[in-house]
Structure 1
Amino acid sequence: MDIRRLTDTISVAPQIEPEDLRAIADLGFVAVIDNRPDDEVGPGHSSERMSQLAADAGLRFAYVPVHPGQFSTALIDAFAAALAEAEGPVLAYCRSGTRSATVWALSKAGQLPAQDIIATAAAAGYDLSNIRPYLA
C-alpha cells in the first residue's frame, strides 16, 4: 500500500486491495472513502465488496465516486460529510490518489489558505496547483 498522509485526519492512496482493509484498520484508520467509480474496477474491487470487507475489518466505509474532472458541490459535500462522520483517521483512495487528494482540497476551500492546501498535497506527492483558482 502506498498511503500518503495529508493531515492527522486524512490520508490518500492509490487503489487498495481487498486484503489491505484489515491492515488499514490495524494502522489506526477508522474509515475508508472509496473515490473510485465502480465502472473503473472489476467485481473484486467494487464498492459493494469493499464495503463488506471494510465492515468485517471494523472500518466505516463511504462510497463517494469521483469521475475524472467532475467535482460537483454535492460530491465535495458528500466527501466532507464522510470525513466529518468518521471521528478518527480516514483513508481515501482512487486509481492514483489524485482524485482523493483533489476532492479533499476542494472540501477545504475557504477553510484553509489555498497555498497551505496546495503545499499539503505537494508534500504528499500531489501537484494540485492547477486547482488554485477553485481554492480561493
Structure 2
Amino acid sequence: MSHNVTITGQITPEQVPMLAENGIKTIINNRPDGEEAGQPTSAEIEKAATQAGLAYKEISFSGNGLTQQHVEDFADYFNQAEQPVLIFCRTGNRSTGIYEVAKQMDLLDD
C-alpha cells in the first residue's frame, strides 16, 4: 500500500470542512500551541475535525525537538490511521521531517 499523504503548513479550523470534502480522513498536528500569536490551538482544530468526521492526533514538537519517541508515536498512529492523511506544522518542514525519519527507520507500513 502506498501512502496517501499531504504535508502542509498551518491549517485553520475553518479549513477543516473543505479538507473533509476533498477526501482527507485523518489530520496529524506536529505544531505545539502558542508558537505565535493568533495561531489556532490544537483543541480548536480537533473540534473542527471531530465535527467534520475526521480523525485527529496531535504529536507536536518544537523545531529542533524531534525525539525517537515522537517518531515512534507518529508511526504507530500513522500506520492505523485512515488515509488520506494530512500532516501539518507551521511551514510543513517539521511534518516532512518526522514522516521521512519514520520512513527511513522502516517504521511505516507499506
Regarding TM over 0.5, the answer is yes
Rounded to whole Å, the distance in 1 between the matches of 2:59 and 2:89 is 10
Structure 1 segments of 4 or more deviating over 6 A? none
Partner residue, 2:75: 80
Q: Which of the pair has more CA radius of gyration?
A: 1
Partner residue, 1:99: 94
CA RMSD of aligned residues (A): 1.8
Structure 2: which 5+ runs fail to align? none
Give the share of equivalent positions with the same residue, in percent: 29
Rounded to whole Å, the distance in 2 between the matches of 1:41 and 1:9 is 29
Partner residue, 1:36: 31
Relative to the length of structure 1, the TM-score reads: 0.71
- Aligned to 1:111, what secondary structure does the other structure show? coil
Relative contact order higher in (CA < 8 Å, ≥ 6 apart): 2
Partner residue, 1:55: 50
Structure 1: which 5+ runs fail to align? 1-6, 113-136
- Aligned to 2:56, what secondary structure does the other structure show? strand
- How many residue pairs match? The answer is 106
- 1:78 Cα deviation after fit: 1.2
